[in-house]
Structure 1
Amino acid sequence: MESKDWANYIESTDGLSKPWLLIQWRLQLLQDQRPHLEPETYATELADLHSALMNLGEWWHGQEQTVFSAEESPLGEP
């Protein structure tokens, strides 16, 4: 998926309140910019995204069906 596809998906599914989707979008944006970035800059940005993902923790426990339901999958998979 391209970054614009992620942005459209996030907007159409009210994904601004879903931080894991925003991280995926940021990762795609970083991948799009990679050819124009210094390796050190890319590594730093990637580490920042990893840290943001890890900071989400396990907030989703007990709400797996709501959070990860199949109808919201960008690929249409369960």
Structure 2
Amino acid sequence: MAVLFVGKDFPHLHFGNCTSITGTSANMNSDDLAKYLEATDGIHKPWLLAQLRLQKLQERREDITPNEYEQELADIHQSLMNLGEWWKGREDEMFGS
């Protein structure tokens, strides 16, 4: 399950399987999430791409072994850790207020 916090740019978006979206969270499948990221220029934000990877992994969980799942989850985690704290002091610019 992906949880997405929608910012001020698209507070009214509604894609397919979303349950709610107005400034809170929405449950989306990976296709819906990809469409949202594309529509909001989120494909240039690596933390959102990690969220998409997590959603895709969750959708495939039943079809892969527990070891494969753990390895892919560890890879996503490492990708996030590699981002570091580049955003410090730029929170409003990067995440909106």
TM superposition score category, shorter chain reference: 0.7 to 0.9
Q: TM-score, normalised by structure 1?
A: 0.84
Unaligned ranges ≥5, structure 1: 71-78
Q: 1:69 offset after TM fit, Å?
A: 1.4
Q: Aligned pair 1:59/2:94, yes or no?
A: no
* Number of matched pairs: 70
**Deviation (angstroms), 1:17:** 1.1
Residue 77 of structure 2 is aligned with which of 40, 45, 50?
50
4+ aligned runs moved over 3 Å, structure 1: none
**2:8 equivalent in structure 1:** none
CA offsets 1:2-45 (integer angstroms, 9 cap, x no match):
11121011100111210000000000000000000001000000
Structure 2 unaligned regions, length at least 5:
1-27
Q: Could you say which structure has the greater relative contact order, defined with CA pairs below 8 angstroms and 6 or more residues apart?
A: 1
What SS does structure 2 have at the residue aligned with 1:52? helix
Instruction: Quote the offset at 1:68 in angstroms.
Output: 1.1
Aligned residue in 2 for 1:33: 60
One-letter code aligned to 1:13: T
Identity %: 56
Give RMSD over aligned pairs.
Answer: 1.0
The whole-number CA distance in structure 1 between the counterparts of 2:39 and 2:77 is 25
* Aligned-residue offset at 1:55: 0.6
Higher fraction of helix = 1
